Structure formats: structure tokens, C-alpha cells
Amino acid sequence: MSTPIRLGTRRSALAQAQSGHVAAALEKFSGRRVELVPITSEGDTNRASLSEIGGQGIFATRLREALFAGECDFLVHSLKDLPTAVPEGLVIAATPKREDPRDVVLTRDGTPLHELRSGSTVGTGSPRRIAQVHRRAPKAEVVDIRGNVDSRLARVASGELDAVILAAAGLSRLGAETPLRREELGLAEWPTAPGQGSLAVETRADAPEELLAALAGLDDTDTRLAITVERAILQGLDAGCQAPMAAHAVVEGSSIRVRTVVYAADGGRRIGLDVTEDLNGEYIRRNGSGNGADAADGADPMHAARELGFTVARRLLDQGAAGLVSREQSS
């Protein structure tokens, strides 16, 4: 029997559910057993607000240390929590097909977010969501919360909070069942974090070719294109993954459409762009690669996607976005 492939994962229910989905897909593709290796990250033990502890890589650092130390063969991350700079010696080997990228509001009675009464409490620890709540529900009070999905849902069910905002993808991957009422927030009015709904499968650059090839089989080109644009915007803004900004890209035929917004922390101001660009989509779907494979004419679609993201970031900065976000060199 061949040696199992070891997948390093955080211990949270959501992380293990995400890793379980990837493990099952990899087993089917490779014919080898995948074994989950639970790892405790600082983000799992430090209960301070993400905005206070910075958020940058807090869930990824310990996992990557384990990967470098040989405790596991590859990792699965929530892409929206992953810093844009990939450490030397590591590679994002696959971005599986993206789940629903929207945010969801959960309440006891189904009251839409914008209709919440004065003094209603909305739980979220995301600076981006906080700014958006201030805009959508200015009479509501935002409560900075941490904790797993079940604990957040319980705080609404018990009456401690009137609403919480969660990622639709996380609820879907957990298969979370709750009597609470859901309000899906449309991306046009409520864009979400770069990479939301996407997973990053990461391994060492010097991993065995057999493993790299197996992981590459999980890659979805349209997803990789979209998140490449989104993360390049974040990197170009130099703002860090806890910045009050949103970016969502989607491949539409032979083009890619990008919606992005940068918010003031209190939601009072926002700067947004809605851009559609041709990225030679027919070639992208046939030959696109996250490993820099060149097109016949010498063009690299992923390079083009990064350049589009950087261009959008420059346009946002030209319009004053630097005054709305706290720029971080570590992004």
C-alpha cells in the first residue's frame, strides 16, 4: 500500500470540513489515501479581535512551519485569510472551483439588514463588513466577535445578537443547519473579500513531481484567474488582508469583470470601480496555467490577470484610496 499523502489543516470544524472536501477530491484523482494532520495555529488560540492582532497570516504561519518541517505534505487554506506574498519555497499548487462568494446575514425573524431597528446588534469581526454594515444599516450597532460558526449562530439564536454576517461558502462547506433566517447579499451591492469562497492548496516548491501533478489536477482555471486579479488589487493597495476593501472578479466569456470597493473604516466614504477587460478568454480556458505556461503568442494569462489587478489598484489609489486604508508592507 502506498504511503498516504498528509494534509495539514487547522483544527476548527470549518477548516477540517474544507480539508476533507479537498482530501476526497485528491484521493479520487490520485488513487492515494489522504490523511488529515491537525495543526493548531495562533488564530485558533488567540481570541483577540483580528483587527487588533493584525490578521496577516495569523492562520497560516504555523501551518507553513509544519509544511517546511515535513510534518505534512500540503496545506489547505481559506484564500481570503492568506497574505498575498507566498513565502519563498512554497507554491499555491491549486485553487479548486470556487464556492458561493457572497456574504449571508442571519437573523431570528428574517428582518433584512437595511431594515434593522436602531440599537440592533450585528456581529462581525471583519473591518470590511463593519464598514459595509455602517453603510447598509447605519442605525445598527456592530459587535466585534470571534469564534466558530456554531458559536456565532448560537449568539443570534439566544438573543444576544440580532444578526451575524458569515460567508456563504463556509456555511455550505460545513453543511450548517440552523432555524435562523438567511439573507444573501448580492455582490453588486455588497462585494466581498479578495479570494472569498476560494481555497488555496499549498505545498513546497520542491515537492515530488507526482504530488505536484496530482494537486494540479484539482485546479480550476477560471477560479485561479479571478483570484489572481483580486489578490493583485489587494497587493497593489498594500493594505493587508484585514483592510476595509472588497474585490470580486468573474470570468464572463472571453472577458473578466472586476468589481472592487475601498471603504473608510466608518463606512462614510467609499471608492469603487467596475471594470471589464478582455483576457483572451478562449486561450485561458484551453491553456491557462498557474505555473506560468505561455500562450502560443508569448502571453501568460495569469501575468495578464496580475497586471489587471495592479492597474485597478493604481486607479483606486489615484482616486484617493490610500487615505481610506492603513497600508501594510507585509501584505
Distance CA 146, CA 256 (A): 34
Question: Are 288 and 325 a contacting pair, CB within 8 Å?
Answer: no
Examine the residue annotation and report whether 81 is marked as an active-site residue of this protein.
yes
Identify the helix (H) or strand (E) that includes residue 257.
strand 255-263
Query: Which grid coordinates belong to 204?
Result: 513546497
Question: Are 74 and 100 a contacting pair, CB within 8 Å?
Answer: no
3-state secondary structure of 199: strand
Question: Are 262 and 324 a contacting pair, CB within 8 Å?
Answer: yes
Longest distance between any two alpha carbons in the chain, whole Å: 63
Burial of 69 (0-12, 13-18, 19+ CB in 10 A): exposed
Of 279, 173, 269, 171, give the one whose Cα is nearest residue 225: 279
Query: Which grid coordinates belong to 35?
Result: 490523511
Strands annotated E in 11-135 = 34-39, 74-78, 90-94, 103-107, 121-123
**C-alpha torsion 3→44→182→185, nearest 10:** -90
Instruction: Considering the candidates 81, 162, 219, 238, report the single residue annotated as catalytic.
Output: 81
Identify the helix (H) or strand (E) that includes residue 18.
helix 13-30
Q: Kindly list the catalytic residues.
A: 81
